[in-house]
Amino acid sequence: MRLSDASVVIRPRTTWEAMDLGVLMSQQHRRLLMTSWAIVTLPLFALLSLLLWDSPSLAVFIFWWLKPAYERLPLYILSKALFGETPTLKQALREWPRLLKPQLLASLTWRRLSLSRSFVLPVTQLEGLDGEARQQRLQVLLQRNGGAAQWLTIIGVHLETALWIGLMLLFYMLLPQQIETDWDWQSLLLAADQDWRWLEHLTNVFYALILVAWGPVYVACGFSLYLNRRTQLEAWDIELVFRRLRQRLNSSVLGVLLAACLLLPNLQPVWASDAPDAPRLLNQPLTSQAARDSIQSLLEQPPFKNKESVTRYRFADDPASPAKDAQPGEAPQWLKTLLGWLDGRHLDALANVIEVLLWGALIAALGWLVWRYREFLRAFVSRRPNLPSRSKPPAPPHVFGLDLNRETLPDDIAASAEQLWLSEPRAALGLLYRGLLSHLLHDFDLTLKAADTESQILNRIEQLQRPDLLAYSRNLTVHWQNMAYGHRLPAAHLQAELCNGWRELFSKGSGH
């Protein structure tokens, strides 16, 4: 046995952790353990069932009683695997008859019902102790972990039962409906034994199957408890490290001597440059200090360091307010009055109130949920999601500073313009142009934007396909631009032309 070859980490564990290690060990060799167990037990079980066909309970009892005999095989496999010499299936099966020999009678008779069976088995099988020596050994070993081994067996009994019943129920659930109708549990219990014998044997098979899964785990857990106890008792982990330390020191002494002999001249400069604290690389453009600084600043930035400050509300611990001491006399008094008050028929009324409150809470919660996820639900309820209708942007009341509201304009624009023409020609032209825009906006539904220029408006008018309107608008726009930007007064004859043009265009259309 070489501890350094162990395939598990050796250190003292608590007893529960030691069992967990056993589970891990059984996991690692699951296939080998379960196959070998199945090959050993299932034929035996079949044989027992055939021989004792008329008494299925006896068959499964004998099968159960023989468990210590099967358990020797997984222990052999695990003990070999612990030091990395996992046997093949054939080797393990060939070994089994030899494993059965020592103390089989004892383990199948007076030691059968011992609760620490799994823990004791390695002493018998691996240490090969017998009689007085075995007793002494067990006395030492069982001082600590004996209780855990017993717990393991107790848990195992319950687990086996639960798994067994579970498998039966699973079988029952998987039955097709037609068969199930004939199977009343009462009739199963009362029926003549002959008819249902095969069913009893079937449930026994389930037990054998359960053991295939659980048996090796049980053995592994007992073995790991045993290992753990010996680790504690003999400080295996310390021995392991001490041996490694010795090896390191012995080899390093040799190594240092060799190195000193061979490499001494070469070592000098290496050491000199290796002084850790002396500033280095001082003559390059990038000194080591600068490099370190820039690395440091890089490390402070996001990919390496993500700082965020989170502000949350929490209850302040107010040391000023004294803790509310529960007054011992108060609670019973309060309880007493409550109980006294509760006693009587108005309890039912209270029950109803609580019922109403609970239903109300449920409805409120549902309502809240619906409200909370209303957008989400709407996607399922209405066929076309009600997209927010694209409201037409409101027509701008002002285009380059001109007020286009109809209310601000006089009723008869042409007449007003004629009146204004002599005194304020600018205002008259402005009025005409403003009136044109207002008509375009309100009567022709032209989209005008506050940012439009005069020529852009003309382009829009062109799209209306109204030549007379376009011609008049061009005319008016030219004069308006001359007036507004060029300060050139329009000729007098234009007054009549523009006003009449206006009347021609709009007097007949003013009605609509």
Partner 1 sequence: MLEPTAPRRKAPLDTRHQVETPEGIDLPLRPAGLMVRAVAFAIDLGIRGLILGVLFIALAFLGKLGMGLGSLLLFAISWWYMVLFEVLRQGRSPGKQWLGLRVVHDDGTPIGWSASLLRNLLRFVDLLPFGYFLGALSCLQHPTFKRLGDIAAGTLVVYSERPLSRPQLPDAEPRRSPVPLTLSEQRAVLGFAERQAELSPARVNELAALLAQPLHISAPKAVSEINGIAHGLLGPTP
Residues 1-40, mask of contacts with partner 1 (x by CB under 8 A): -----xxxx--xxx-xx-xxx-xxxxxxxxxx--x-----
C-beta closer to partner 1: residue 161 or 288: 161
List the one residue from 94, 246, 398, 442 that touches partner 1 (CB under 8 A): 246
Residues contacting residue 418 through CB under 8 Å, at least 6 positions apart = 428, 495, 499
Could you write out the DSSP letters of every residue in 234-255? HTHHHHHHHHHHHHHHHHHHHH
| Smallest distance, partner 1 to C-beta of residue 56, A | 21
Q: Does 139 bind partner 1 (CB under 8 A)?
A: no
CB of 289 to partner 1, least distance (A): 26
For the bound state, the minimum distance from the C-beta of residue 111 to partner 1, rounded and expressed in Å, comes to 22
CB-based contacts of 427-433 (< 8 A; 24+ apart in sequence): 428/495, 429/476, 429/479, 429/480, 429/483, 429/484, 429/490, 429/498, 430/402, 430/480, 430/483, 430/484, 432/476, 432/480, 432/498, 432/499, 432/502, 433/402, 433/476, 433/477, 433/480
CA 123, 124, 128: angle at the middle one, nearest 5? 95
**Token reading at 261:** 């002999």
CB of residue 347 to partner 1, shortest distance in Å: 5
The site for partner 1, by CB under 8 A, has a size of 70
Q: Which of the residues 290 through 349 are near partner 1 (CB under 8 A)? A: 342, 347-348
Nearer to partner 1, 28 or 103 (CB): 28
Q: Which CB sits closer to partner 1, 20 or 200?
A: 20
- Residue number, 14 or 405, with CB nearest to partner 1: 14
Amino acid identity of 473? S
User: Phi then psi for 130, rounded to 5 degrees?
Assistant: -145, 155
Among 243, 280, 449, 488, binds partner 1 (CB under 8 A): 243
Q: Which is nearest to 63 in space by CA: 188, 206, 223, 196?
A: 206
- Which of 112, 151, 202, 209 is in the footprint of partner 1 by CB under 8 A? 151
**DSSP letter (8 states) at residue 512:** -
Comparing CA positions, the residue from 111, 149, 133, 144 lying closest to residue 12 is: 144
255 binds partner 1 per the rule CB under 8 A? no
Q: Which is nearer to partner 1, 348 or 375 (CB)?
A: 348
| CB nearer to partner 1: pick between 89 and 295 | 89
Angle between helices 193-234 and 236-273 (to 10 degrees): 50
Candidates 47, 51, 58, 170; binder of partner 1 (CB under 8 A) is 170
Q: Based on the shown chain and the rule CB under 8 A, indicate whether residue 193 belongs to the binding site for partner 1.
A: no
If DSSP codes are grouped into helix, strand and coil, which group holds residue 398? Answer: strand
Instruction: Count the alpha carbons within 13 Å of 218 in the hemisphere toward its beta carbon.
Output: 30
Which H or E run contains 402?
Answer: strand 402-403
Regarding 87 and contact with partner 1 (CB under 8 A), the answer is: yes
The tokens for 418 are 């004629």
Considering the complex, state which of residue 85 and residue 443 has its C-beta at the smaller distance from partner 1.
Answer: 85
CA distance 114 to 116: 6
What is d(CA 446, CA 350) in angstroms, rounded to the nearest whole number? Answer: 71
Is residue 113 involved in binding partner 1 (CB under 8 A)? no
Identify the residue among 58, 175, 260, 350 touching partner 1 (CB under 8 A): 350
Q: Is 219 in the site for partner 1 (CB under 8 A)?
A: no
Q: What angle do CA 380, 372, 381 make, to 5 degrees?
A: 15
Quick one: which of 126, 167, 395, 470 contacts partner 1 (CB under 8 A)? 167
Q: Where are the alpha helices (DSSP H) in 54-130?
A: 56-65, 67-82, 89-100, 104-108, 117-125
What mask of x and - would describe binding to partner 1 in positions 354 to 373, judged by CB under 8 A? xx------------------
Q: CB 33 → partner 1: shortest distance, Å?
A: 9
**Choice from 51, 133, 162, 377 touching partner 1 (CB under 8 A):** 162
Chain residues in the site for partner 1 (CB under 8 A): 6-9, 12-14, 16-17, 19-21, 23-32, 35, 81, 84, 86-90, 151-152, 155, 158-159, 161-163, 165-167, 169-170, 173, 213, 217, 221, 232-235, 237-239, 241-246, 249-250, 253, 342, 347-348, 350-351, 354-355
